[in-house]
């Protein structure tokens, strides 16, 4: 699936639609350079799941859980940013397995290239490409149908 969005609001609206199709245990891997719109997409995704607070990129703390209210299937959104991860031991320190395999949670991962070989086949790959100041090309895919 591929879509072009023309604003941050457009990107978030698309993400809210995707959120409605997710189930507990879903994992989304976000690809794209700095400024591609990964966090903007995740903000819309969090809104679509039922989170009403602010979503920040967890670059310096690596993982940030958000409690989801009013969603019978999904209780937590785990926002993981691996930009600063340098070695596998760092992943074990943060307890990444807890985030990835919570059947009542959804895990979203920025910079997943660092753990790609450990991700399940059902991982939804989200690629964001910056086309201009406000336009983004968003491509969703996975090895197995999940949406």
pLDDT in tens, 4-47: 999 999 999 999 999 999 999 999 999 999 889 999 999 999 99
Which domains are present in the chain?
2-120+136-141 (3.40.50.300)
pLDDT in tens, 82-110: 887 776 666 666 667 777 878 999 999 99
Q: What is the mean pLDDT of the chain?
A: 88
* Dist. CA 108–CA 96, nearest whole Å: 12
* Dist. CA 138–CA 128, nearest whole Å: 5
Tokens 């790959």 identify what position? 125
Q: Give how far Cα 55 sits from Cα of 5, 31, 115, 122, 142, Å.
A: 20, 18, 23, 25, 25
């Amino acid at each position: 699936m591929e879509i072009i969005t023309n604003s941050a609001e457009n990107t978030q609206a698309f993400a809210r639609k995707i959120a409605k199709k997710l189930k507990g245990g879903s994992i989304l891997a976000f690809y794209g350079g700095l400024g591609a719109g990964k966090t903007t997409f995740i903000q819309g995704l969090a809104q679509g799941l039922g989170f009403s607070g602010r979503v920040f990129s967890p670059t310096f703390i690596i993982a940030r859980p958000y409690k989801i209210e009013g969603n019978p299937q999904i209780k937590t959104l785990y926002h993981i940013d691996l930009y600063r991860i340098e070695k596998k031991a760092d992943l074990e320190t943060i307890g990444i397995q807890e985030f990835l395999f919570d059947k009542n949670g959804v895990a979203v991962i920025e910079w997943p290239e660092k753990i790609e070989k450990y991700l399940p086949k059902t991982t939804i790959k989200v690629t964001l490409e910056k086309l201009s100041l406000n336009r983004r090309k968003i491509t969703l895919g996975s090895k197995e149908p999940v949406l």
